[in-house]
Amino acid sequence: MKKSNTNAYLALVVVSIFWGTTYLASRIGVRHTHGLMLAGARQTIAGLLLTGFFLLRGYKFPEKFVLSRLFVIGIMMLCLSNGLITWAMQYIPSGLCAIIVATVPIWITIFSYFLVQRTKFTILLITGMLIGLLGVGGIFYDYLSSLTNPEFRFGIFLTMISCVSWAIGSVLTARWALKINFLYGAGFQMLFSGVVMVVIAMLMGYSLPLDSFNTELWGSLVYLVFAGSILGYSSYVFVLNNLPPSLASVYAYINPIVAVLLGWLILQEHLNWTTGISCLVTLGGVYLVNIAVNRNKKQYGTTK
């Protein structure tokens, strides 16, 4: 049990850092193709690699019941979440997108209460979440003037939908606890969602520029496949199966800090003292949320 928890916390660190970098990679990639096509290609390739690996090792094809639930989770967490986030980054900065995604812990805690009921609401937990959101609000404040731009508003709208979808998918993953190797299952989720997004993007008239080699596009795609999908998403699924949903969600507070810093350093996105201080406030919220969840686990026996 201790070893499993240790591995889960290490996986949470991987998710917190590497997923923060994928906002930068996606922002670069959508310069050259539609967000849904980029996300679809990313998940399809990663899904083929993961499922192919396990099938070659002799794993049996999952039952229809398991596949149907993997399909639902994949659509919620990758199509309606990752796909829409990638699309949104055609209109809003990568750092801001990551900041909005930081609201995911709020949604996960709410849906977890009604669907899983494994996390107790305490004053400390609510305080930590409010402090985290206060930090997020401070960062978002600098972008308020951009709301007059319809494309900017559309990008925020897509990101908000993705937050709710990701939260529901995360809670369903914990609630259903499918009897399948978590990496194998993640591969099918990626494959299902990737194919759906590619088809939708093609119906919208978009495609990958296969006739020419673009270093930024293909570098972005390769990074997203291996660092974002195979390493990052697989680690996240492992975390969901070994830690309470509300604790698993704290990565969403750390991702914005990584994304904002990288966006500022590499893409010259907006960053000032307000943003920097707000990031520190957000980290304070993360610390309180962690303490609250750990106390809940000891006091109420909140376990996965």
Length of the chain: 304
**20 in Cβ contact with 254 (< 8 Å):** yes
Q: What digits encode the pLDDT tens for the residues 47-59?
A: 999 999 999 999 9
Residue with tokens 């609201």: 103
**pLDDT for residue 117 is more than 70:** no
Residue with tokens 């960062």: 139
Q: How confident is the model at residue 299 (pLDDT cuts 50, 70, 90)?
A: low
HSE-CB for 67 with a 13 A CA cutoff? 8
pLDDT at 250: 74
Q: What digits encode the pLDDT tens for the residues 159-175?
A: 989 988 988 887 887 77
Q: How confident is the model at residue 72 (pLDDT cuts 50, 70, 90)?
A: very high
- pTM for the whole thing? 0.82
Contacts of 303 (CB under 8 A, 6+ apart): 118, 244, 297
Domain count, the chain: 1
Structure tokens at 287: 């610390």
Q: In whole angstroms, what is the distance from residue 165 CA to residue 274 CA?
A: 30
Minimum mean pLDDT among 102-106, 124-128, 196-200: which range? 102-106
pLDDT at 304: 38
Range of the domain at 270: 5-301
* Cβ neighbour number for residue 164 with a 10 Å cutoff: 17
pLDDT at 119: 60
